[in-house]
Amino acid sequence: MFNRLRELLGEYNGISAENVYPFAGADNALRAIFYNLVEQGNTAMFIEPTFSMIPILTFLRGLNGITISSFECGEWWCIDFERLVDEASRVDITVLVDPNNPTGSPILKGNKDLFLTLAKKTNGFIVIDETYYEFSGYTLADMVEEYPNLIIVRSLSKAFCLAGFRLGYIIAHRELINILSKPYTIFDIPTPTIAAGIAALENHRYVNEVVSRIVELREWMYKELRKLKFNVYRSLTNFLLVKDSRDLKNYMLKRGILIKDIGKNLYRITIGDEDMCREVVRILGDLQ
C-alpha cells in the first residue's frame, strides 16, 4: 500500500515515485527536513509571519533565525525580495510557505526567474511549503531534479479534505529523498491514512470541484467583508486574513464560530461551506 501511495503521488504531480515520499502530515515532513539536513548552530531564514511550526523547529534545533518581514501592500502582503536574496548566501536553509500562511499572499508564485535569482545566491537548502498548491495553481515541483537543494512540501489536508488523516509529502531530488526517508519505514503512517490517501488520489477529480467552490466562496466573502468596511486582504489559499483592532476571536467564539488569532489585530478566517460563510458575514456585519 505504501508503494502504491508513492506511485499515485508521483502520477498526481507528474513526477517519478522516486521523487516523492509521504509523511504523517506536512509538519512531520518539515520536521524530517530540519532534523536531517541542518545542525545546531546553522542558520534558517523564513518569512514573518509564517506557519508556526517553522519558527518552532528553528528554536528546537538550536538554529539561528533570520526573518524577512511581510508588510501590507494594498490588497496583498509583500516581502522585500531583494533582502531575501541578499541574506540567502548566509543561511543554511530557507523556508518559504508559498502562498504564505497566514497572509494568503504569493511569494515566488512559481516564477522560475525569481527562483533562479534566489537559487544563485543560496548555498543551503530551499524549502517551499506548497500546502495551498491546489488553490494557487503554481508550483516549482518540476525543478527538483535540476536543483538538488530544492525541496517541496505538500499536504492532502486542504483541497483533498483529509486534515484528520494527517498525510503530507515531500517532493525532491531522488538522492535527497533517500536521505530524508532513511530514518523512516513503511509503517510510520497508519494504514487507514494510507488507504484514505490512495482512495483520494485514485478519485482526485473531485478536488477541482472542492477548490473551485472554495475559491468562489472566498471571493464572495472578500467582497462582502469589504462592503462592511473590514480591512480584509486578498488570498490564494482557503482562508482570508482580516485586520481589526477589536477582539474578533472572542466575539465570534461566543457565537459558536472559531477564527484564528495570528498576531496583533490579525485574524485568519477559513472558508467553510456556503451556510457557514453567510453566517460569518452576518455575525461580523452586526459589529458595524
The pTM of the full predicted model, rounded to 2 decimals, is 0.94
Hey, how many other C-beta atoms are within 10 angstroms of the C-beta on 192? 9
- φ/ψ region of 109 (left if φ > 0, alpha if ψ in -120 to 50, else beta) reads left
In tens, the pLDDT along 259-274 reads 999 988 999 999 999 9
User: Is there a contact between 66 and 87 (Cβ–Cβ < 8 Å)?
Assistant: yes
Mean pLDDT for all residues in the chain: 95
CA–CA separation, 263 vs 267, rounded Å?
A: 7
In tens, the pLDDT along 71-89 reads 999 999 999 999 999 999 9
pLDDT of the residue at 123 = 86
What are the residues facing 165 on neighbouring strands? none
Rg (CA), the chain: 19
In tens, the pLDDT along 129-140 reads 999 999 999 999
CA–CA separation, 113 vs 280, rounded Å?
A: 40
pLDDT surpasses 90 at 275: yes
Tell me how far CA of residue 51 lies from CA of 20, 32, 42, 185, 240, in angstroms.
22, 16, 20, 27, 15
pLDDT surpasses 80 at 288: no
In tens, the pLDDT along 54-73 reads 999 999 999 999 999 999 99
CATH classification of 2-203 is 1.10.10.10, yes or no?
A: no
pLDDT of the residue at 53 = 95
User: Is there a contact between 81 and 114 (Cβ–Cβ < 8 Å)?
Assistant: yes
List the chain domain ranges. Answer: 2-203, 206-285
pLDDT of the residue at 132 = 97
Q: Which residues touch 184 (CB under 8 Å, ≥6 apart)?
A: 21, 23, 32
Q: What is Dmax (Cα atoms) for the chain? A: 56
What are the residues facing 97 on neighbouring strands? 129
**All cell numbers assigned to 252:** 465570534
Which pLDDT band holds residue 205 (cuts at 50, 70, 90)?
A: confident
In tens, the pLDDT along 96-116 reads 999 999 999 999 999 999 999
Angle, vertex CA 197, rays to CA 195 and CA 203, nearest 5: 105
pLDDT of the residue at 263 = 83
Tell me how far CA of residue 152 lies from CA of 77, 86, 141, 245, in angstroms.
22, 22, 6, 36
Which pLDDT band holds residue 186 (cuts at 50, 70, 90)?
A: confident
Q: Among the CATH numbers 3.90.1150.10, 3.40.50.970, 3.30.450.40, 3.40.50.11890, which is that of 206-285?
A: 3.90.1150.10
